[in-house]
């Protein structure tokens, strides 16, 4: 084969199957020398073995004349690869996110441009079977009646048999290569990979193995039987995990902070002075006029325009050459300077790879400002470049790619499992459920104006807050009682359930304008038509579910949508109705729903079943909105539609009956938008802690993001009260009871 000479050495650097390694080599062979070096380095890292392989690949790729080999195009010398490894120039740094840098001609290449790094490539490999593994585990829990998401079924026998539990564990073992690849891509210097597999080396370095008790306890009897979790040991495991997470997070953050460069990597004089103090270069004359990096960039810009690339930085190459001439055993100061130089060049290369032209950088800069992170990002880049580079590689500083919305698995959906070794992105990743939740709370904790760090509450704190919220429920206001409420028509209860009253309405966004676009997004997952049930807890272990006497969530949602649409029609006189989009595993545009066609549209087009992926519905809503207003907006091939100054506001009513699998991803996407106002209605089971945990989280998001409003109801709810509160938030003003009663009348077009 064409790659026989490369496979043995690549196996030593990257522990993957030969088929996967051949795909990497084939893709690298399709690229020019410099791009191939960037691609391989992003996957393999900067270890001596990795660089040795990249240089070998560059020197021998001309031998790939086998008919099975890819067409390589123009093959240059290995010097291009060496230049790529050693970095780029200060001029690129100066022009980052600058409107004066590359012309808009580069925008024509956006749709076909390909950029990758170690995190992106590892994410692609992991995404191949991540959804399958999550589904397998969910099915396994259901089969063995394990209801807590933090517990995996365990078998009494340690040796392998053909039971579903051991088949799942065997499948986990087969992913160890992907897990190690992911770990290498996201780990910080000095960290070690580990896993939870007893026949794997990572098991012995797993900090959770001997410091957190098993939720199954010790010494359960039974041969060839599945173990059952014990409430006492499960509660103890949760407490020990929370404590260990906090300790490891603090240690990791402290260690990473200590590894940040002592000198500014962006001030060339600081590095030069440090090198001069160590005798690597001569100190510059004191009175020599110094130029800033921006001035140097301006001077080098014409040169770049002529040759299509930036010239090498003489001071950097001189410093690197002198460093290589230094003694072979480097002091810690020497290594620190060399690492700082490499860090600077890695950041610049990553920034220009991710954001290649003016249009791209305008979108990124607008996103950072709208989310409120611009100041924090600039501070990270200047003072904590090591952490900045890791977050940059993970896409923290740019919008979410539009294509991710309809993908069953993308990096934001990856689970974080500290005890199993599946890592997150930030140094304090332990304790989050997935990458999206970690990124969401990182953004919330680092927005401009945030006072102190607001950490995500741990599980026990969430449960305590849920119980406290349930205790605050009171009888709903009698003036909203109605004989036509769903719970009354179905006779599920003689009285209404106690409700948690929403906070008094305070407008933040401007009130609704005639040009605003109203749409409805409805969850049609299977749980909407299940008999409502609530969990039974023994401490923190769910042991069973019991039926709740209330209507099905889908019936309540139907009644609320009917009341809402009728009131809105009386308000804005749009008698042709409002666009209704449904979502489960996929999304569907049902059409405009109104009083005239409501029953027919609902019966013929609204079908329940499947999972709860809100991003599929949200993407469909955005497409509909911007198709109507395409003249005032632009479309980016990666980030999707971008609203313009005159794009009308989208006002969306979203109805949910629980937490969507990608809810954090949805909330994260909303933070970067100023053209949408979302009002969320959460339908819950009476007396269910899960409902109140989700309600507390949505309330926190609403407090941070004023473009998101939130109302919830549980059990047998007064639908008129819910509709009134939803209309206040949807329209953006404190609607009086008298006005609400006028809006409740049937619209004039109704066939009654």
* Ranges of H-type helices in 448-595: 459-471, 486-489, 553-572
C-alpha–C-alpha distance, residues 72 and 27, integer Å: 10
pLDDT at 329 exceeding the cut of 90? no
Beta bridge partners of 538: 541
Confidence of residue 205 (pLDDT cuts 50, 70, 90): confident
**Residues in CB range of 121: below 8 A, 6 or more apart:** 24, 42, 43, 185
- Provide the 3-class DSSP secondary structure of residue 417: strand
Provide the CA 246 distance to its chain's centre, in angstroms.
Answer: 22
C-alpha–C-alpha distance, residues 410 and 711, integer Å: 30
Closest Cα partner for 310 from 322, 324, 296, 320? 296
Sign of CA dihedral 479, 483, 484, 489: positive
pLDDT for position 724:
97
Confidence of residue 83 (pLDDT cuts 50, 70, 90): very low
* Ranges of H-type helices in 89-117: 90-95
pLDDT for position 316:
45
Instruction: Say if CB 362 and CB 99 are below 8 A apart.
Output: yes
Name the region of 610 (left: φ>0; alpha: ψ -120 to 50; beta: rest). left
Confidence of residue 310 (pLDDT cuts 50, 70, 90): very low
pLDDT for position 34:
73
pLDDT for position 124:
92
Mean pLDDT of 519-526: 96
C-alpha–C-alpha distance, residues 431 and 441, integer Å: 12
pLDDT at 494 exceeding the cut of 50? yes
Mean pLDDT of 169-192: 92
pLDDT for position 734:
92
Measure CA of the first residue to CA of the last residue in the chain; give whole Å: 77
pLDDT for position 658:
86
Closest Cα partner for 599 from 559, 564, 569, 568? 559
C-alpha–C-alpha distance, residues 505 and 456, integer Å: 26
- Given 3-state DSSP classes, what are the helix, strand and coil percentages for the chain, each rounded to the nearest 5? 50, 10, 40
pLDDT at 311 exceeding the cut of 90? no
Which two structure tokens, joined as six digits, stand for 488? 């009354």
Confidence of residue 8 (pLDDT cuts 50, 70, 90): confident
Mean pLDDT of 545-572: 95
Please write the tens of the pLDDT for every residue from 436-470. 999 999 998 888 776 656 668 899 999 999 999 99
pLDDT at 300 exceeding the cut of 70? no
pLDDT at 64 exceeding the cut of 70? no
Please write the tens of the pLDDT for every residue from 556-567. 999 999 999 999
C-alpha–C-alpha distance, residues 169 and 344, integer Å: 42
C-alpha–C-alpha distance, residues 87 and 343, integer Å: 9
Please identify which residue in the block is written with the tokens 């008790």: 213
Mean pLDDT score across all residues of the chain: 81
C-alpha–C-alpha distance, residues 710 and 703, integer Å: 10
pLDDT for position 298:
38
Instruction: Say if CB 747 and CB 574 are below 8 A apart.
Output: no
C-alpha–C-alpha distance, residues 377 and 357, integer Å: 20
- Provide the 3-class DSSP secondary structure of residue 438: helix
* CB atoms inside a 10 Å sphere around CB 460: 13
Mean pLDDT of 266-280: 53
pLDDT for position 113:
47
Please write the tens of the pLDDT for every residue from 419-430. 999 999 999 999
Confidence of residue 44 (pLDDT cuts 50, 70, 90): confident
pLDDT for position 524:
96
Q: Where are the domains of the chain?
A: 515-743
Which stretch of DSSP H or E encloses residue 677? strand 676-684
C-alpha–C-alpha distance, residues 434 and 667, integer Å: 14
pLDDT for position 224:
56
Please identify which residue in the block is written with the tokens 């896409």: 395
Confidence of residue 749 (pLDDT cuts 50, 70, 90): low
Q: Tell me the whole-structure pTM to 2 decimals.
A: 0.78
Instruction: Say if CB 136 and CB 379 are below 8 A apart.
Output: no
Range 518-528 burial, b when 16+ CB lie within 10 A, else e:
bbbbbbbbebb
Mean pLDDT of 492-511: 88
Q: Distances from the Cα of 677 to the Cαs of 180, 297, 372, 517, in angstroms?
A: 41, 42, 17, 10
Instruction: Say if CB 679 and CB 653 are below 8 A apart.
Output: yes
C-alpha–C-alpha distance, residues 304 and 409, integer Å: 40
C-alpha–C-alpha distance, residues 566 and 32, integer Å: 61
Mean pLDDT of 392-419: 94
Which two structure tokens, joined as six digits, stand for 141? 């829990």
**Residues in CB range of 467: below 8 A, 6 or more apart:** 689, 692
Mean pLDDT is lowest, of 26-35, 134-143, 332-341, 382-391, for: 332-341
Please write the tens of the pLDDT for every residue from 587-611. 999 999 998 999 999 999 999 999 9
Please write the tens of the pLDDT for every residue from 210-259. 899 999 987 655 455 668 899 999 999 999 999 999 999 999 999 999 99
pLDDT for position 729:
94
Provide the CA 251 distance to its chain's centre, in angstroms.
Answer: 24
Please write the tens of the pLDDT for every residue from 603-633. 999 999 999 999 999 999 999 999 999 999 9
Confidence of residue 489 (pLDDT cuts 50, 70, 90): very high
Confidence of residue 30 (pLDDT cuts 50, 70, 90): confident
Q: Which fold has domain 515-743?
A: Rossmann fold (3.40.50)
What DSSP string runs through 317-360? HHHHHHHHHS-SS--HHHHHHHHHHHHHHHHHHHHHHHS-SHHH
């Amino acid at each position: 084969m064409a790659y026989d000479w490369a496979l043995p050495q690549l196996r030593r650097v990257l522990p993957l199957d030969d088929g996967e390694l051949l795909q990497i080599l084939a893709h690298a062979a399709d690229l020019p020398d410099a791009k191939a070096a960037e691609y391989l380095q992003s996957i393999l890292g900067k270890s001596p073995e990795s660089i040795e392989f990249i240089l070998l690949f560059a020197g021998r790729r001309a031998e790939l004349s086998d008919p099975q080999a890819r067409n390589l195009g123009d093959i240059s010398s290995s010097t291009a690869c060496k230049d790529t490894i050693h970095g780029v120039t200060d001029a690129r740094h100066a022009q980052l996110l600058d409107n004066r840098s590359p012309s808009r001609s580069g925008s024509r290449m956006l749709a076909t441009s390909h950029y990758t790094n170690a995190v992106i490539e590892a994410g692609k490999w992991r995404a191949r079977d991540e959804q399958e593994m999550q589904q397998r585990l969910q099915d396994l829990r259901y089969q063995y009646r394990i209801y807590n998401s933090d517990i995996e079924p365990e078998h009494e026998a340690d040796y392998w048999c053909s039971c579903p539990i051991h088949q799942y564990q065997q499948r986990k073992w087969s992913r160890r290569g992907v897990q190690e690849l992911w770990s290498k891509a996201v780990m910080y210097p000095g960290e070690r990979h580990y896993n939870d597999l007893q026949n794997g080396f990572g098991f012995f370095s797993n900090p959770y193995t001997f410091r957190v008790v098993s939720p199954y306890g010790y010494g359960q009897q039974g041969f060839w039987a599945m173990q059952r979790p014990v409430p006492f040991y499960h509660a103890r495991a949760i407490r020990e995990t929370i404590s260990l997470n906090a300790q490891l997070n603090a240690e990791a953050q402290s260690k990473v902070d200590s590894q940040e460069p002592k000198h500014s990597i962006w001030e060339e004089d600081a590095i030069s002075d440090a090198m001069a103090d160590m005798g690597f270069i001569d100190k510059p004359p004191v009175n020599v006029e110094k130029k800033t990096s921006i001035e140097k960039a301006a001077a080098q810009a014409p040169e770049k325009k002529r040759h299509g690339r930036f010239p090498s930085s003489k001071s950097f190459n001189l410093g690197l050459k002198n460093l290589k001439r230094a003694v072979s055993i480097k002091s810690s100061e020497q290594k620190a300077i060399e690492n700082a130089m490499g860090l600077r060049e890695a950041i610049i290369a990553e920034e220009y790879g991710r954001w290649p032209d003016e249009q791209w950088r305008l979108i990124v800069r607008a996103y950072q400002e709208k989310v409120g992170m611009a100041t924090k990002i600039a501070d990270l880049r200047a003072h904590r470049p090591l952490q900045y580079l890791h977050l940059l590689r993970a896409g923290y500083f740019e919008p979410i790619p539009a294509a991710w919305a309809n993908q069953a698995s993308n990096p934001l959906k990856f689970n974080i499992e500290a005890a199993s070794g599946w890592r997150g992105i930030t140094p304090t990743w332990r304790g989050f459920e997935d990458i999206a939740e970690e990124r969401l709370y990182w953004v919330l904790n680092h927005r401009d104006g945030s006072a102190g760090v607001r950490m995500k509450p741990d599980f026990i704190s969430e449960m305590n807050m849920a119980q406290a919220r349930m205790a605050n429920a009171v009888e709903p206001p009698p003036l909203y009682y109605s004989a036509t409420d769903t719970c009354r028509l179905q006779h599920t209860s003689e009285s209404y359930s106690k409700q948690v009253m929403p906070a008094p309405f305070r407008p933040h966004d401007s009130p609704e304008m005639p040009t605003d676009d109203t749409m409805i997004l409805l969850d049609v997952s299977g749980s909407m038509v299940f008999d409502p049930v609530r969990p039974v807890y023994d401490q923190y272990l769910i042991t069973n579910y019991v039926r709740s006497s209330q209507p099905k969530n889908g019936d309540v949602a139907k009644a609320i949508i009917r009341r809402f649409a009728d009131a809105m029609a009386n308000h804005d006189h749009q008698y042709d109705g409002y666009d209704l989009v449904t979502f489960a595993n996929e999304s569907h545009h049902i059409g405009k729903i109104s009083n005239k066609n409501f029953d027919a549209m609902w019966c013929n087009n609204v079908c329940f079943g499947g999972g709860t992926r809100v991003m599929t519905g949200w993407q469909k809503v955005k497409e509909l909105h911007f198709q109507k207003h395409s003249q005032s907006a632009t479309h980016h091939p990666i980030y999707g539609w971008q609203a313009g100054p005159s794009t009308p506001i989208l006002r969306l009513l979203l109805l949910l009956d629980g937490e969507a699998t990608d809810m954090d991803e949805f909330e994260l996407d909303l933070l970067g938008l100023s053209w949408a106002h979302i009002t969320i209605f959460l339908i819950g089971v009476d007396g269910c802690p899960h409902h109140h945990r989700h309600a507390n989280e949505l309330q926190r998001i609403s407090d941070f993001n004023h473009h998101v409003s939130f109302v919830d109801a549980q059990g047998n709810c007064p639908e008129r009260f819910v509709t009134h509160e939803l209309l206040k938030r949807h329209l953006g003003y404190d609607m009086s009871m008298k006005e609400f009663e006028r809006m409740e009348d049937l619209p004039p077009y109704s066939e009654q």
